[in-house]
Structure 1
């Protein structure tokens, strides 16, 4: 993790994916109005999300910083910024530099991206040297259908045992994988560079529930992080697609902020 002064209070940001099917612009508006201290831009199919100038304008208009950029490495974003995975990461780093973000969140390669996966660990380190930005590789999970399990990521869905300098820990993903996020955070130590907070009932599906509504040790995890030298951001990344209306969606986003703020106060 790059050296920076430790804040007395961890900064809590909102991922623009938390307002989906709302737009990137509505994510900035909600984050600013509801009391968040930053935004993570999920680069995706929304045209604004792939435009650094547009995102910078939103940041300035709403007076809220962009703390991180999520690279387009999801299944649904395989063709965003072309199909070359390394090209996507270079563009993500350029966007981060353009909008003033410190972190690029990236998923490990899919199993069928064998050439990309073969040099992924070393390539991520090279990217950090080239761009002077943190590339925080996110923990994922095996795909499950009934009793069948498919290991969809290389070199592994769990980045703890890989030689990454920086890692993003997502509590919904750890739940789906059956991993203990508290133990993962302890094992990562100062390699933990970024947090996605969400909850889950441990379903095979990636649930991204409001923290506190599921079965995961969200409070314990946040307290551990708050009591450590961790100086990164905590990003709320929840699924509000089933919210009955805009009011219900905002209630979820506010509850997530209140829970996270309560358990990260130092």
Structure 2
């Protein structure tokens, strides 16, 4: 293969945890990533619009997306009202020039939020001019008296938004691995609505592994090649776990390997 991909390859700040959001910007610039996705909630800087703006300007790198604080451990970041979180995410996106807000489907216990989620996302896109790219999630394993009792649907309207009425979507390869989903088939369901990729890998474990792409069983190379062949023009974001890297040099190697993998398989 020859040539260069027109698609930007960014680094999610969560990929450097337990290092800081600022370190995420440092690593992205050092290793030659094209952009950064800010995961809101990792540390105080990630929740402060002015801090993120200064990090982007100081490092001379684009912020391509804001990941809204919709994880379990960020449920109280920017308050507890979910629509307020998405509106605040839009404020940050506008302040730093990002065009995408990544959002997860509602948890099943957020029934009022879930009831109006589809129409609410449409409203936010109209009002903000941003892409709210809804991300695929996965079934959870319920436990009863210490024994696993099978998968439980933890998200509404569905853990797979590609089947829903959304204008923009995100595919997370690790989440698809847990759910036993085929990412190429998922991309085909999204069609030209697919706007965002969390590039990672998994083995089908019940754990959300977020492996370096190519180290799992999801065919991340074939997935990237499919995206290139079909003219995908969204954003590719490396979102891996380096928490157990053991050293900064090991973390560097994982982040560099992920970037090299993406560039190799996106070029045509």
User: In which range does the TM-score fall when normalised by the shorter chain?
Assistant: over 0.9
Counterparts of 1:239 and 1:85, CA distance in 2:
26
Q: How many residues align?
A: 260
Q: State the Cα deviation string for residues 112-153 of structure 1 (Å, max 9, x = none).
A: 000000010010000000000000000000101434211110
Match of 1:126 in 2: 123
**Residues 185-204 of structure 1: matches in 2 within 5 Å?**
185-204=187-206
**Secondary structure of 1:216 counterpart:** coil
**Deviation of 1:62 (Å):** 1.1
Counterparts of 1:171 and 1:136, CA distance in 2:
15
Q: State the Cα deviation string for residues 8-55 of structure 1 (Å, max 9, x = none).
A: 521100000000000000000000011100000000041100111111
| Structure 1 unaligned blocks of 5 or more | 1-6
Counterparts of 1:147 and 1:218, CA distance in 2:
30
Match of 1:83 in 2: 80
Corresponding position: 1:69 with 2:62: no
Counterparts of 1:15 and 1:133, CA distance in 2:
19
| Structure 2 unaligned blocks of 5 or more | 143-147
Corresponding position: 1:49 with 2:42: no
Corresponding position: 1:250 with 2:252: yes
Q: State the Cα deviation string for residues 193-245 of structure 1 (Å, max 9, x = none).
A: 10000011110111000000111110111011112222111000000001011
**Secondary structure of 1:249 counterpart:** helix
Counterparts of 1:192 and 1:108, CA distance in 2:
16
Q: TM-score, normalised by structure 1?
A: 0.96
Q: TM-score, normalised by structure 2?
A: 0.95
Q: State the Cα deviation string for residues 94-113 of structure 1 (Å, max 9, x = none).
A: 11011100100000000000
Match of 1:32 in 2: 29
Let me know the Cα RMSD of the aligned residues.
1.0
User: Runs of 4 or more off by more than 4 Å in structure 1?
Assistant: none
